[in-house]
Amino acid sequence: MGDRTPPAGRAAELAVVDRVLAGRGPAALVVTGEPGIGKSGLLAELAARAGPALVLRGAATEFEKREPFAVFVHAVDPFLRSLGDAERSALGSAAELWPVFPAFGPPPGRAPGRARTHRAVSALLTRLAGQRPLVLVLDDLQWADGASIDLFGHLVRQLPDGPVLLAGAMHPARSPERLRLLLDLARPDSAFEELPLAPLTVEAAAELLPDADPATVAALHRESGGNPFYFRALAEENGTDVPPVVRTAVAAELRSLPQRARLAAWAASVAGEPFEPGLAGEIAELPSGEFLAALDELAAADLVRPAGTRFCFRHPIVRRAVYQVAGPGWRRAAHGRAAEVLAARGAGLLTRAEHVERSAVAGDFAAVDLLAEAGDAASPAEAVRWFGAALELVPTGDAHRQRRQELLSRLTVCAGMAGRLEESRRAADELLTSVPHSPARTRLVAFRSFVECASGGHERARVLVDRELRALPRESSACRAALRVELAATAFIRADHAELERHAGAALATTAVTDPVHAGAAALLARGQYAQGRIAEAAATLDRAAAAVDGMTDEVLSSRLGVCLPLALTEGELDRPEDAIRHASRGLELARASGQVLVTPLLSTTRAAAHALHGRPVEALDDATEAYELCRANGSRYGAALALCVSGQVQIWRGQVSTAVAFAEEALAMGRESGAAVLLASAGVCYAEALHAAGRFADVEPVLLETTGNFELVDRPWWSRLYLVLIRAALSLGDRGKAEDLLGRAREAVDGIPLASRQAAVRYAEALVLLDSGKFPAAADAAFEALDLAEKVDSQVQAGQARIAAGRALAANGDRDRGLAELLRAEGDMAALGAQRLRDHAVRELRRFGRRVPRPAHGSGATLSHREHEIAHLVATGRTNREIAAQLVISEKTVETHVSRILRKLRVPSRAAVGRAL
């Protein structure tokens, strides 16, 4: 018993059990609830807590309904047989007790009347309780025979004398009416209690799976309806549609019902959830009156329950179990009948498609047309299902080649947009074997290239597009331009800037301004020009790209969302973070509205990077976290690594250094695996900064130089950031001479780069070197210059770093008041941003100069980010995590993370309190 675990989430019910057990007089307790809710478990716990009492247990079974007193025989007779003849005789008259307990047989004569037998059993229980308390446990009373029901009712109404606890359990909806009546008559007696078991809450269900993440628990709770039996079965099967143990249990419930009720249940499972009785009746092919009578039988058995004008099954998993119990042939025909009825009623397209998919046969082209129409009306993820189902109905062969090509083309695009990469590749590969060179084929290859690049397969994309371009006739200029844009994208990922400019420039020169390809070519060309330090050219080209995108309608841009990536990324790098955020946000809104899962996390990462450049840690971390989780969910390690690079930088600002190191290491491993130079370099820079924050100064330079190819894999304007990392490491190692040499190279690197953020990085590095040299006036001048430059582009974290350096220099130079003022300003600014590590740096400097700064109280100043506000308001309206995730096109795990953070920040105990806090 030492390893026994009390039923989860039943604290109130266990308190009732303990109270009843603690009573000295007779009592009765009946536990009620649906199958699997935990009645037997609670009775078992009651028995285990009974201490020195004599516990006798039995259970009724469906197959012994004709055996009189069967449940009492199971519970008591084995104990009676264990006694000696003299002990048994002392418990009561064999003539009165043998009809109930065979241990008193063989029968000495004619059976006594029922009332006399009831009194004799009551006396027997009293005598058994004379030596020590007696607990009689009778489970599954809904299956009890009539004689047992009458005896149980008598004992509940007229409890035996002494310390006797009569404990039973039953499913109310399946219990005989006579048992229900007998219990209702016993209610005025305070010694009787009925204890109904409700479904477990999510929190209680989590106790059943202590190692599971909240999203998994929430999903299992939703499917099980909080029923512990179903919950455990689903968890053990680990994703199986309906666990066999649940299917068997539901099948047993159905077997006890009349044939028409079983047929009605099968039809209801086909009709939907909740189901409309009229439709289910037509599927069942039962007359209306007979179907409604069968529906009453299902409701009486608690298999279905009213839901307004419709009905629903007891739990979602019960419906699926009933559906599987019906034969596959019957189900197919039933779906066919449902499709016909719904068509006659003028039902919606997607509703009809659900049934057509499950009933159509190969060669049914009316079904093919309907399913294809459903695909056109659905989100990309749903469309994959409909186009795939339509394809299965189209025979192979030349006669149907064009129809298959049309469906494969749509399937390729929808699967790619939905992040189902293997399905997209398979459909595209089949299609490319039969489609001749044409604009349609070029669009297919370009899309396949984008899918590969977005998921980290840039080398596959390059080979595919290069082979296609070589095969294209020279006169196909529009097709060639579209393919060159894709080659430019692969060159960007490889950090081959010359190749990037060559392909993007050629595409730009041969496309009209109104052509969507023109915008993509301009954005990529601007990126190449920027990477090589030609800032003025890049700015002018970027203006063309932005104007082209801004001129696109949402409908056009939705089909070209990839153009937002280089556009927003380059805008951020050119000190235009607001433009970058605007374009990334527009792309995100369109991606979410159209269900484009593949591009959504990449746009989130792009916006996160813009927020980071703008010095907005909270917003940057929100976007990067969502991007990472979505990428891991759809298998895009490339996108996940990019998100980790942004998250790592923000975690350094927040003071979560060990987390930043772990993020950077994971991103670096993915970068090495992918072979993408841009990713490897980004991860390397992030790792070097994390290593410095962690105090591993000697490791910084080797990592940085190796991953960036001695800076060659990094955009030239960003060399200032790399030099800053190396300068800080050199100063931390006490090598001022090396730091001064690096500073000279950093000045050369930004010469001719008129970007305030890059110039600010070098001025800040200069301030650090001068501070280390004790040249405080010059250090203050350099720090203030860095501060002005950072504020010019509203780079708030960069400004905070510069302000701390300025404060240090002023205070060290004897201008203590001005220095402390700057440090106090920096401390407040960084605290407001959530840049805790920089805030702590300012506090240390203030204390070094004799100014005490108290730490903020726990939770003070905690503000919700834009995304947290968005989710908090949806929580306040009662939306579930699944509903919020679907509306915002993010993962349930992301929503769960945000909700936990919201509760912590608002300092409220539950979701219900979020609305009041807001």
User: Which distant-in-sequence residues (6+ apart) come within 8 Å of 817 by Cβ?
Assistant: none
Residue-level pLDDT at 856 = 53
Residue-level pLDDT at 595 = 85
Percentage of the chain with pLDDT > 90? 61
Q: Which secondary structure element, helix H or strand E, spans residue 134, and what is its range?
A: strand 134-139
Least confident of 239-243, 460-464, 509-513, 591-595: 239-243
Burial-class residue 698 by CB neighbours within 10 Å (0-12, 13-18, 19+): exposed
Residues 191 and 283 in one domain: no
Residue-level pLDDT at 773 = 96
Cα separation, 519 vs 564, whole angstroms: 9
Q: How confident is the model at residue 859 (pLDDT cuts 50, 70, 90)?
A: very low
Residue-level pLDDT at 210 = 83
Residues 873 and 843 in one domain: no
As a whole number, mean pLDDT of residues 648-668 equals 92
Q: Is 490 within 8 Å of 465 (Cβ atoms)?
A: yes
**Which of the listed residues 330, 357, 384 is the one where a domain comes to its end?**
357
As a whole number, mean pLDDT of residues 515-541 equals 95
Q: Is 507 within 8 Å of 484 (Cβ atoms)?
A: yes
Residue-level pLDDT at 345 = 93
Q: Is 862 within 8 Å of 855 (Cβ atoms)?
A: no
CATH for 905: 1.10.10.10
Residues 151 and 246 in one domain: no
Residue-level pLDDT at 108 = 62
Q: How confident is the model at residue 148 (pLDDT cuts 50, 70, 90)?
A: very high
Indicate the length of the chain as a whole number: 918
From residue 820, alpha-carbon distances to 152, 430, 833 in Å are 84, 69, 20
Three-class secondary structure of residue 59 per DSSP: strand
- Listing DSSP states for 208-258 in one string gives T-TTS-HHHHHHHHHHHTT-HHHHHHHHHHTS-SS-HHHHHHHHHHHHTS-
Q: How confident is the model at residue 860 (pLDDT cuts 50, 70, 90)?
A: very low
User: For residue 378, is it within any domain?
Assistant: no
Cα separation, 425 vs 457, whole angstroms: 12
Nearest CA among 31, 34, 27, 1 for reference residue 13: 31
Residues 41 and 103 in one domain: yes
Look at residue 98 and tell me whether its pLDDT is greater than 60: yes
Residues 483 and 542 in one domain: yes
CATH for 752: 1.25.40.10
Nearest CA among 633, 570, 623 for reference residue 598: 633
Can you say whether residue 890 is alpha, beta or left, with left for phi > 0 and alpha for psi between -120 and 50 degrees?
A: beta
Residues 82 and 192 in one domain: yes
Nearest CA among 871, 533, 838, 845 for reference residue 693: 838
pTM summary value = 0.70
Q: How confident is the model at residue 674 (pLDDT cuts 50, 70, 90)?
A: confident
Residue-level pLDDT at 895 = 80
Cα separation, 252 vs 272, whole angstroms: 22
As a whole number, mean pLDDT of residues 108-136 equals 87
As a whole number, mean pLDDT of residues 8-33 equals 90
Percentage of the chain with pLDDT > 70? 95
Mean pLDDT over the full length of the chain:
89
Cα separation, 121 vs 93, whole angstroms: 10
User: For residue 607, is it within any domain?
Assistant: no
As a whole number, mean pLDDT of residues 532-558 equals 95
Q: How confident is the model at residue 331 (pLDDT cuts 50, 70, 90)?
A: very high
CATH for 326: 1.10.10
Residue-level pLDDT at 238 = 66
Q: Is 536 within 8 Å of 528 (Cβ atoms)?
A: no
Look at residue 173 and tell me whether its pLDDT is greater than 90: no
Q: How confident is the model at residue 207 (pLDDT cuts 50, 70, 90)?
A: confident
Cα separation, 191 vs 156, whole angstroms: 9
Six token digits for residue 199: 């479904």
User: For residue 224, is it within any domain?
Assistant: no
Q: How confident is the model at residue 4 (pLDDT cuts 50, 70, 90)?
A: low
Residues 447 and 555 in one domain: yes
Q: How many CB atoms lie within 10 A of CB 64?
A: 17
**Which of the listed residues 307, 324, 357 is the one where a domain comes to its end?**
357
Q: Could you tell me where the DSSP H helices lie in 733-815?
A: 736-750, 756-773, 776-792, 796-812
Q: How many CB atoms lie within 10 A of CB 643?
A: 28
Residues 17 and 112 in one domain: yes
Look at residue 790 and tell me whether its pLDDT is greater than 50: yes
Residues 844 and 879 in one domain: no
Residue-level pLDDT at 99 = 87
Residues 819 and 880 in one domain: no
Q: Is the peptide bond before 106 cis (omega within 30 degrees of 0)?
A: yes
Cα separation, 611 vs 620, whole angstroms: 5
Look at residue 1 and tell me whether its pLDDT is greater than 50: no
Question: pLDDT tens-digit profile of 736-776?
Answer: 999 999 999 999 999 999 999 999 999 999 999 999 999 99
Least confident of 85-89, 176-180, 645-649, 699-703: 176-180
User: For residue 694, is it within any domain?
Assistant: no
Least confident of 214-223, 302-311, 348-357, 475-484: 214-223
Q: Is 217 within 8 Å of 232 (Cβ atoms)?
A: no
User: For residue 889, is it within any domain?
Assistant: yes
Nearest CA among 365, 338, 333, 368 for reference residue 354: 338
Six token digits for residue 531: 């990477």
Residue-level pLDDT at 723 = 97
Residue-level pLDDT at 861 = 41
Stronger pLDDT, 849 or 887, i.e. the higher one: 849
User: For residue 697, is it within any domain?
Assistant: no
**Which of the listed residues 542, 569, 596 is the one where a domain comes to its end?**
596
Residue 420 corresponds to which amino acid? R
| Domain interval for residue 39 | 11-198
User: For residue 432, is it within any domain?
Assistant: no
User: Which distant-in-sequence residues (6+ apart) come within 8 Å of 656 by Cβ?
Assistant: none
As a whole number, mean pLDDT of residues 567-576 equals 95
Cα separation, 710 vs 675, whole angstroms: 17
Look at residue 188 and tell me whether its pLDDT is greater than 60: no
As a whole number, mean pLDDT of residues 672-680 equals 89
Cα separation, 28 vs 185, whole angstroms: 13
User: For residue 208, is it within any domain?
Assistant: no
Least confident of 215-219, 879-883, 904-908: 904-908
Residue-level pLDDT at 483 = 95
- CA angle 61-312-227, nearest 5°? 50
Nearest CA among 69, 65, 74 for reference residue 256: 65
Residue-level pLDDT at 858 = 42
Q: Which secondary structure element, helix H or strand E, spans residue 718, and what is its range?
A: none
Residues 838 and 896 in one domain: no
Least confident of 202-216, 321-335, 383-397: 202-216
Number of domains within the chain? 5
Look at residue 302 and tell me whether its pLDDT is greater than 60: yes
Look at residue 2 and tell me whether its pLDDT is greater than 50: no
Burial-class residue 292 by CB neighbours within 10 Å (0-12, 13-18, 19+): middle
Q: Which secondary structure element, helix H or strand E, spans residue 175, and what is its range?
A: none
Residues 472 and 582 in one domain: yes
